[in-house]
């Protein structure tokens, strides 16, 4: 097992359920962790608590918006000044909304554009800006959070499914383009017990869990464990997306 002790890890979207769990897991494993958050998000109280906790241990939190390239350039400068490099980059930012797939009119152009702006272009733009800091590492890894919606087309809305399919293609393309200096991996969860999809709560999770072979939905920690494994165990893998869905795709 490769250690992440002493590594500089950045979790983009570190105030969300999966992002916060990943930041905590990496910190527990010995990495120096920075997170980004976006002011005004539904998780802003969590962001404030996470920021205080991280900075209390000498880590860092930066305000950044993946849909705003200027803020990503500012983020790059701040990271370069403080750390000089990034060893592990986790792309955990994103959003969605439940829209019935048959309701084509509800999926309007503005929503589709924003979906891809945040969930695909934002991930690419973050990678584009931070690639030089990853190349400054001698053991760089970038991990993108996907979804099994990319494979089964049954996610929260059609645009989200398409964006996540784009994420998995992005993983393959970047892995090829950036090798051997940067490994690129994807982690693809099924349903996760967080507030990521507004309006879905315990009743939805209880119902869905009966359709999953392992009979429960994932926790944020389940996904964080898979992300950590990309850094510590799957060290000869790149361009691959790891499915963490309890068997739901079966």
> Would you name the residues annotated as active-site residues?
160
Residue 78 and residue 82: Cα distance in Å, rounded?
6
Q: Which residue has the tokens 């309006």?
A: 199
Q: What is the DSSP string of 143-212?
A: EEE--THHHHS-SSSHHHHHHHHHHHHHHHHHHHHHTTTEEEEEEEESSBSSSSSTT--HHHHHHHHTTS
Cα separation, 50 vs 41, in Å, equals: 14
CA distance 250 to 245: 10
């Amino acid at each position: 097992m490769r250690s992440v002790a002493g590594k500089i890890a950045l979790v983009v979207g570190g105030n969300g359920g999966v992002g916060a769990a990943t930041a905590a897991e990496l910190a527990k494993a010995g990495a120096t962790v920075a997170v980004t958050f976006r002011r005004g998000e539904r998780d802003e109280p969590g962001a404030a608590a996470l920021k205080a906790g991280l900075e209390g241990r000498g880590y860092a939190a930066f305000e950044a918006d993946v849909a705003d390239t200027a803020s990503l350039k500012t983020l790059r400068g701040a990271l370069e000044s403080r750390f000089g490099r990034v060893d592990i980059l986790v792309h955990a930012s994103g959003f969605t909304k439940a829209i019935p797939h048959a309701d084509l009119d509800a999926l309007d152009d503005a929503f589709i554009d924003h979906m891809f702006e945040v969930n695909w272009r934002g991930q690419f733009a973050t990678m584009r800006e931070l690639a030089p800091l990853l190349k400054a590492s001698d053991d760089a890894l970038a991990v993108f959070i996907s979804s099994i919606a990319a494979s089964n087309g049954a996610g929260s809305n059609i645009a989200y499914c398409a964006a996540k399919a784009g994420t998995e293609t992005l993983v393959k393309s970047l892995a090829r383009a950036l090798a051997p200096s940067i490994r690129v991996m994807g982690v693809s969860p099924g349903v996760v017990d967080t507030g990521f999809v507004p309006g879905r709560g315990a009743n939805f999770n209880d119902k869905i869990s009966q359709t999953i072979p392992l009979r429960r939905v994932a926790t944020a920690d389940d996904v964080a464990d898979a992300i950590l494994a990309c850094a510590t165990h799957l060290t000869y893998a790149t361009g691959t997306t790891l499915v963490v869905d309890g068997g739901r795709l079966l």
